[in-house]
Amino acid sequence: MHKLLQRVTRTGLVLLITVCALSEAAEFPENRRVLLIYGNPDIGPWEQNFNQITLTELSTNSGIPAIPEFLSLIETPELQKQVMAESLRLKYSQLQIDLVIAVLPEANSFVQRWSDTFAPQAALLYVLPGIDVLSSVETNPETVILQSAAELATRKTVELIPQLLPNLEHLYIVGGSSDGDLSYQRRAEFAVAEADIDYNFSLLSGLTPDELLDHLADAPRNSAILLNPYDRDHTGQPLRTMAINTMLEENVPLPVFGAFDTLLESGTLGGNMTASTLYAASAANIARDMLSGSIEDFLVFSETNYMFDGSKLNAFSIDRSRLPPGSIIVNDPPNFWRDYSGLVFTGIIIMVLQLALIGLLMETMRRRNAAESELKKAQKLEALGSLSGGIAHDFNNILMSIMANAELADMKPNDESHVRTRIRNILSASVRAKDLIAQILMFSRQSASFELKPLHLNSLLEETAEHLRSFLPRDCVLDLKLQDQIPVINGDPSQIHQLLMNLCVNAQHAMNDVGTIAISSSSQHLSKARQTPRSKIPAGDYVVIEIADTGPGIEKDSLQHIFEPFYTTKPRGKGTGLGLALVYQIVKAHQAYIDLHTSKETGTRFFVYFPISIAGNMDEQLYDDSELSNGHGERLLLVDDDEMVLDVTSHALESIGYSVTAFSNSVDALNWYKQNRPRIDLIFSDLSMPEMDGVRLVASIREVDESVPAIICTGYLESVDQSAIKNISVLHKPTDLKQVSNAIHHLLMKQNTHH
């Protein structure tokens, strides 16, 4: 407790030194001054507020120079006070002091006794003087007293306490022992003695902090404290009223009342209070009137207000309806039912409406997502519809070629040259059919997951171009220009294929099926960022795909909407408005950027910027598939549920040097293996088979021989769980003997290398 008081005292001394330094450093351009005298160098909050407002009103707002002096006048001998007066006389000998404002009892007593020494011609304004000054000051035009309203505030507080605490048993009137302290103590004692009360009271004056706590430790439960100024205890130890207030608030479970607004900052419950700000404003107004010669009253009084700390009202469960009308409540914690009861039902209604709105929005979003999904399917079907005619025509031509060559070969089976020619034609037509099926599958498949992996765009562009040529109208020409050795990007082939298809179909429709679509690839380095209508393309290295058409261009009003879902300039029923919206989504998913240039003269050019993969170039294929790779008696387990495919593949593999054990049923193959435990060099199996698919077959065999290599052959890789085919090589159907032989040879070589 003493450390707290000492810390407060040190803070006041630091502030005193600062104020004095500012006073001494100031220049005085005027020869007329107002001098403010304070009786304590330990500046408390009350004096700080009073001094700040008075100086602002006089010096800043009215241009009247005012100088504060903070003197140590409490319990100071008269001889030392005389020395202080002589010091002030020397200090201000070159200035004319027109008005002296004395603040609080000690300063008032000093000014009354010694003002003739340091300011003999000055008018005097006594602010809150003690009884000694009030009883002896002479009435004249050069003297005004700003009377304390503390007595009135104390009386009103004494009358208020039993109203707020109906069960009050005892009131402790607590204060210090300095002259000023005792003056306030006597006023409070008179107020209590004159009031019509039903409780006892005790006067505790000048106790040390420890003595005060010991005395109050035995206080009755239904007690209260009235705190007055506490500048010194009976030992002469300087104290601060706010520090005493804080000590009581922390250690004594009793409500503390007071008559000074500054006490609200340190734990006082409240009361009828004076305010330093009102005193300061009144003092400044009186000073201006005195300097202008328009003062009329000798005694001036300040107003008081009922002020309370809301948190203390709650802590002591005081009924707020008992507070006087117009009471000011500070530090008031919010109370929902008290402050917002009128809004409770409104809030509930709003919450119900909001929940209903959220439910409606969620249902709307669900319906919209469902509609978008259906429209995406419709967009896909629309594109498939465009494909169907060309695909049917091409596939029928391929079938006719295969059937015709097979019939011609059958007509002359003994003509070896003739048969070989027909077989080559059948193989060529079969390759065309394989490519066409691959194109259809790539366009129609929907990836279960979006997977970015190293990708050469040129290969994908060539494949997409072949796909496009199969259904574009005859008058719509496709021009493909690819830069050699472009870098690798990270991409999803299916998604990029969808992007290219949508841009090209959009170009076809823009040209009304007549014109040229140009697809090109290039690598570009942007030395600085490039701004596009949609975003900024950062500087860096990119692979750029350009899709250009010779159409009429895009109208200016449509440019800002073309990537929005469901926006279309086509007639109703001719387009979904999702094509370019899907393009934009795919671009963003690849962390890529899209730009376009359009004009009526040159048509429209879309540019898609794909960041170059930091992984560099993809690993090259480790084996050459240009020729057959023969076996050397290695034993293969061949499984395929199609008897024709099984027979052809078995004979083909045996013809190039492999020993083949073939099964058309995967369960039979597994049972044979478990019963015989033969040495198998490689498993070659179809993926989709009844009872047990190829992946499960391989996994079951590897429970016995975990090192056996395996190849799965399928045309529907997208339907397989990718995690399930780790460490299994995959061939895409349809395939030829060169691809099969090289895949087997490569896997066997890899197995031998590991062993």
Answer yes or no: do 650 and 706 share one domain.
Answer: yes
Residue 124 and residue 160 in one domain? no
Residue 693 and residue 550 share a domain: no
Residue 622 lies inside a defined structural domain of this protein: no
Residue-wise pLDDT tens digits, 362-381: 988 888 888 767 766 665 55
**Does the pLDDT value for residue 622 go beyond 70?**
no
Cα distance between residue 123 and residue 292, in whole Å: 12
- β-strand partners of 636: 660, 682
Residues 229 and 260 in one domain: yes
Residues with Cβ within 8 Å of residue 110, at least 6 apart in sequence: 37, 39, 71, 73, 81, 84, 85, 102
Q: What is the CATH number of the domain that holds 51?
A: 3.40.50.2300
**Residue 281 within a domain:** no
Residue 476 lies in a domain: yes
Contacts of 252 (CB under 8 A, 6+ apart): 213, 216, 219, 225
| CA distance linking residue 725 with residue 640, whole number of Å | 18
Burial of 577 (0-12, 13-18, 19+ CB in 10 A): middle
Q: Which of 361-375, 422-436, 440-454 has the lowest mean pLDDT?
A: 440-454
Listed residues 121, 147, 173: the one ending a domain:
147
CA-based radius of gyration for the chain: 50
Q: Provide DSSP, 637-691.
A: EEE-S-HHHHHHHHHHHHHTT-EEEEES-HHHHHHHHHHH----SEEEEES--SS
The torsion angles phi and psi of 597, rounded to 5 degrees, stand at -125, 135
Domain hosting residue 196, numbered range? 150-273+303-330
Average pLDDT over residues 618-646: 73
Of 131, 147, 163, which one is at a domain's C-terminal end? 147
* Domain boundary, last residue among 125, 147, 169: 147
Helix boundaries (H) for 265-333: 276-292, 310-315
Q: Are residues 190 and 325 located together in one domain of the fold?
A: yes
Is the pLDDT at 149 greater than 90, yes or no? Answer: no
How crowded is residue 275: how many other Cβ atoms within 10 Å of its Cβ?
A: 22
Average pLDDT over residues 314-332: 90
Q: Which of 648, 533, 550, 662 is nearest to 594 (CA)?
A: 533
pLDDT tens-digit profile of 661-714?
999 999 999 999 989 888 899 999 998 888 888 889 998 998 888 889 999 888
First-last CA distance in the chain: 84
Confidence category of residue 436, pLDDT binned at 50, 70, 90: low
Asked if residue 752 has pLDDT above 50, the reply is yes
Is 621 buried (19+), middle (13-18) or exposed (0-12) by CB count in 10 A?
Answer: exposed
Residue 323: per-residue pLDDT: 94
Q: Are residues 162 and 31 in the same domain?
A: no
User: Residues 652, 749: one domain?
Assistant: yes
DSSP state at residue 265: G
- Flag whether 284 is in a domain: no
DSSP state of 142: T
User: Is 308 part of any domain?
Assistant: yes
HSE-CB at 658 with a 13 A cutoff on CA atoms is 29
CA–CA separation, 109 vs 126, rounded Å?
9
Strand order in the sheet with 682-686: 659-663, 635-639, 682-686, 710-714, 729-732
Residue 14 is predicted with a pLDDT of 34
pLDDT for 719 equals 52
- Least confident segment among 180-194, 280-294, 387-401, 438-452: 438-452
- Listed residue (460, 427, 401) closest to 736, CA to CA: 427
Q: What is the pLDDT of residues 123-133, one digit of tens each?
A: 999 998 888 88
In whole angstroms, what is the distance from residue 40 CA to residue 51 CA?
13
DSSP calls for 686-741: ES--SSS-HHHHHHHHHTT-TT--EEEEES-GGGS-GGGGTT-EEEESS--HHHHH
Model pTM greater than 0.75? Answer: no
| CB-based contact 154:255 (threshold 8 Å) | no
267 and 200 inside one domain: yes
- Output the pLDDT for position 19: 38
Please check the confidence at residue 268 and state whether its pLDDT lies above 60. yes
Whether residue 373 lies inside any domain: the answer is no
In the chain, the number of structural domains is: 4
Say whether both 470 and 566 belong to one domain.
yes
174 and 209 together in one domain: yes
Mean pLDDT for all residues in the chain: 82
In a domain, 660, yes or no: yes
Per-residue pLDDT of 563-579, as tens digits, reads 766 556 665 444 445 56
Q: What share of the chain is helix, strand, coil (3-state, %, to 5)?
A: 50, 20, 30
- DSSP per-residue letters across 607-633: EEEEEBPTT-SPPPPSS--SS----SS
Beta carbons within 8 Å of 342's beta carbon, 6+ residues apart: none
What is the mean predicted confidence (pLDDT) over 98-110?
Answer: 94
Do 520 and 485 fall within a single domain?
Answer: yes
**638: pLDDT strictly greater than 70:** yes
Domain-embedded: residue 139: yes
The CA distance from 274 to 259, in Å, is 6
- Tens digit of each residue's pLDDT (9 = 90 or more) over 462-489: 888 887 887 788 889 999 999 988 888 9
| 333 or 28: which leads in pLDDT | 333
Are 594 and 572 members of one domain? Answer: yes
Ranges of H-type helices in 56-104: 78-91
CATH number of the domain to which 552 belongs: 3.30.565.10
Rounded CA separation 59/67 (Å): 9
